[in-house]
Structure formats: C-alpha cells, structure tokens
Chain A
C-alpha cells in the first residue's frame, strides 16, 4: 500500500458564490412537472421530473450522489437521491418505492402533475477524482438508485476511466431495477454482474449474496486492485460492513471507498437535526461519505 500522504491543493477548491449563503432562497421551491412515469417493479416507479421555468431549468445542475427534497404541496416533502445523469440541466429521474405517506400519494399521481423540488443538497460521489482509475460499483437492492447517477456519469465519460465493474444484488429477480438498461451498460464496456438471493423459474444467473461475486472479483484482481481502484457501495447498512470490510482486507484504502447513507430528513439544510448520525448532519456532510468518515461516526452502520 502506498503510504505517502496525498498533496492537498487548496487552490483547487475555489470560492464561487453558493446558494448556501443566500438567506432569501432558504424556502425556495422549484416548480416542476412529472414528465413521465415508468413502472419498474410492483413497488418502485421511475419519475422523470423537469423544472418548468426554462431559465431556472438551465441553471439547475447537480452532481451524482446528491439528493433533492421532493415536495407535494399539502402532502409533505422528503429527500430522494437523484438517479439520472447530471448532463441534462433541470431534469432529474427519481426512482421511488411506494412505502410511506408521501410516496403512497406520489404513486397515485399521473404524468403532467405539478410538484416541487428543492436542492440539490448534500455531498457527491468523487467522479472527477476517480478519473484515471478502475471503478468498482456495488449496489444492493435500492442502492442501485443513487449509484445509477455515478454509472451514467462514468458511461458518458467512458474514456476517462479504466475498467468499470458493477456488482448488483437483489432479493428476487422481480425486484431488479433498471432492467431495460443492462444490455446498454454491457455494450458500453461495463462488466455488470447481477445476483439474486432467491431465484424464480426464469432466473439463469447466479444466486446468493453479492459478496459471493465480490469475493471472486477480489480474488481475480491484479496487483493494481488496491492502489488503482475506487469503490462506491450503496445499499442497506448491513451490506456496508461486509463489502467495505472485504475491500479493506483486499488492501483498498478507506478514503477510496464511498457509501451513500439514508436518514430521515425534514429540511436538507442542516437545521432540523433529524438526519444526524452521532452528531453529524447526513444532509450536509453526506449522504456520500468515504469509509474512513463512516468508521469515525458512531451508530452510522
């Protein structure tokens, strides 16, 4: 392992004006339209959402890994990771499971409905820093949702990355998300492995936990694996320990592994405290954390 400390170039950070400091826009909501709804499984739908006002739409940008607060006036608002590519300004795809009050209401909405979005909020996957390296993307269940923003970013800038591996595990084949894109990802030189815990009659792929696939990957990996690979891991908290633990043992530095955490949020701006882990705001310091930060957060995973 290379123990030399990385040089931190403070000039790279820049000092641009941020929406962060603007007291007037605290409660600002973009009016947005549900352009289309794509049912993906029995419980999850993909919502394509576009900011209505053209100027604001063009100015709305985000980074993969960030989230928005989706607001349905009179019903409530909740945080959702953006699942689409950041290339299209003012347009987001949110993959949402029908699980609570807000999402239950949303599931009954039709395209053309007007909702609100606020944000984008939170930290991002370091897709820029990852350029020039191999990329290992690991998703369990709904974890594919935030991860897809990183997958699409890597695809759109394919020449800048080395080998790209996706390991995706779900409980059953019927719960797999974004099935319509697997062929495309594979054709665009991504090594995609999918595993399910409980197969059905049609399933021909491997079965078990995704750590099974990951073990093979780590075992096959060359000498460059530890030093030249970045990993992003999204999924249920219990998965982080197994996956990140395995990668740590394989020699991958903790600061090159990234995870995205989920918490209850009522503001998204470091005020309501509902998302605090120990005493760190998931909405400000996360949702994307490197594994070293996670190790230092009590009760994170």
Chain B
C-alpha cells in the first residue's frame, strides 16, 4: 500500500481537482431538538458545503446505489404484444467524499450478496462500479459499535482514505486514479513521526468506544435462543415501522410493483426498498402470513444480519454504525437486543 501525507490546506485543492465529477459528501441539513447538527449525504459543488467533521448521517449513502424507489424496466404495447425496455439507471461516475469506515464496509458487504453471488444484480453493480470513494476517519459516538463488528477500519473498498493527524492528513492510496489525483496537489512521503502520529490517533479512537456487541458464538446462540422470551419483549416494543431498515446502510430487501401508465400505452416495474419489520413482508397471496407477529419479524431481522449472512459470507451484515438504534422510535438498539438474547441483564 502507498501512503502520502499532505497539509490540510491542500484538501480544497484536491476537491477542485476531483470536482469535475459528480461529488457526493456529508452536508449539514439542519439541527435536532437539542441544537446538534444533523447531516446527510448530498451532491455538493463547493468544498465549503462539505462538513467533513460530521459524526454520522441519519440516512446512509446506500440510497445512491440502492435508491428507495427504482424503475427496473418499462413495457411498451406494440402491434404484436409488448416490448420490455431495461435501464440500469446509472448516472455515471460519482465521487463519495468523506465516507466513514463503517459505510465503506457496508458497501463491501453488500457487494458479497448483490454482486459476487449467483445472479449478480446489474442495478446495483452499475452504480457500485462507478463509485470513487474517499474515506475519512471518525470519532466513536455513544451508539457506534463498529469495532465489535470488525468494521472500524476499512481494508479495501476505497480509493483514498484520509486520517486527520493534526495539521495534516495521512492518506492511504488504493487506486492509480487516486494516486494521479494526488499528483496534482502538494503531498509528501510520510516520515517516522507521521507513522507514529497515525498509530496514536487510531489508538486514541479505539479507547473511545463505549458500545459493544459480543459476537462470540452468536450464530449458535441465536439458534439456541430462538424461543427466548427476549424476542417477545423486544417485539412488544417494536412499532413495525421499518425505520431501522430505511437508515441501515446494508438493508437491501425490496418489493416489486407493476403499474400501467395513464395512457395505457405502457407499464412500468418499480422496485421499492422494503423492511422485514413491515407486516406484509412474508404474506402470500390468499392471506397467509409466515411472520404475523411483530417479534417474529424483529427476530428475523437479527437472524438475517447476524446469522444467515455470517453463514453465507463469514461475516455479519451489520456494520455497527448504530443508525437504527438512533432512529428507532421505540429505543431498540442492536447491542441491547443481542445482550438480552445472550441472557445478559436478565
């Protein structure tokens, strides 16, 4: 791997070099009731719009690759029947300026099921393959448990990763394109004291984690505790609103709906992201629902994230960003649910 350091003053220049492309980054959208800033990922045109010191965003960057609604295809009525026109809805390359490690890892994990398994989906791949990612380091928040999920650092899945080491950035360069961009600003090779400063910054970050999840034998424990009372208790609190799935950087399940155009000359097939907590998730024609109770749906969500995905890909689908717990109206958080299922605090 190639490392560089550059002065903080150089970052706006790097932005200008890159900004001939569409750039998406963290911007402040407003403030919450306590006056704290709320951030979101938006398209930006000026470096000044970016809030690179953001703590987290309410919605993840998922929507740029998995839009909440997406037209999968359209149909045209023709003389002999119909024709199907497929469009993967890709807008060309996009630079993601300032993703945290959890969100980079979220894309890496989505890749496994959406791109690297059987039936790779072109709707995802077309956008994913058009991402240029600049990662930035972050400060653990009370809800962050990425360290437990092995996602507090990103090993791959970015072009450039910047760590703030005081007056300068310590940059990991993982693509030739990123290297070429860096040639256009003033950089230097890191010295021994830069290495030491980087190690200190990471060590300091690691000391700040307060939320943890014990993943030891979790796949087995989830099976053993399938009938645990804890599920029922969390299920009674759950509002089945699906907010957790909306804010989650790795929830990818969806529903498909077809509609006829108003002029009846065509139709379209639309994919909408869904949530396994919504009541109709597993309901079949005729009305039978395989998961009619709230707790069975909530439990399923944990099964998919923390058991099924681990079985299939040797790592959890949850990246520990903590967004679901922050957004949950019923105060259901992953660390608490898993601790209770493990029998801690009961």
Q: A interface vs B, CB < 8 Å?
A: 18, 20-21, 23-24, 26-27, 29, 31, 71-78, 97, 99-103, 114, 116, 262-264, 266-267, 269-274, 276, 278-280, 284, 298-299
Contacts and interface: CB of A to CB of B under 8 A. Distances in A.
Interface string B64-80: 00000000110100001
Interface of B: 72-73, 75, 80-82, 84, 86, 113-114, 117-123, 125, 223, 226, 252-260, 266-267, 269, 274, 276, 281-286, 290-291, 296, 300, 303-304, 307-309, 311-312
B284 A263 contact: yes
B257 A26 contact: no
13 contacts: A18-B118, A23-B125, A74-B75, A99-B285, A263-B284, A264-B290, A267-B256, A271-B113, A272-B254, A272-B274, A276-B308, A284-B118, A299-B296
B237 to A, nearest CB: 21
Contacts of A31: 81-82
**Most B CB atoms within 10 A — which of A18, A20, A26, A73?**
A73
A284 B113 CA distance: 12
Contacts of A116: 84
B120 A74 contact: no
Contacts of A97: 286
B86 A27 contact: yes
Contacts of A114: 80-82
A78 B255 CA distance: 11
A77 B256 contact: yes
Contact of B84 (A72, A73, A101, A273): A73
A147 B299 CA distance: 33
Contacts of A102: 285
Contacts of A75: 258, 260
Contact of A76 (B81, B258, B266): B258
Nearest to A283: B119
Nearest to A19: B119
A85 B139 CA distance: 61
Contact of A103 (B86, B274, B285): B285
B84 A266 contact: no
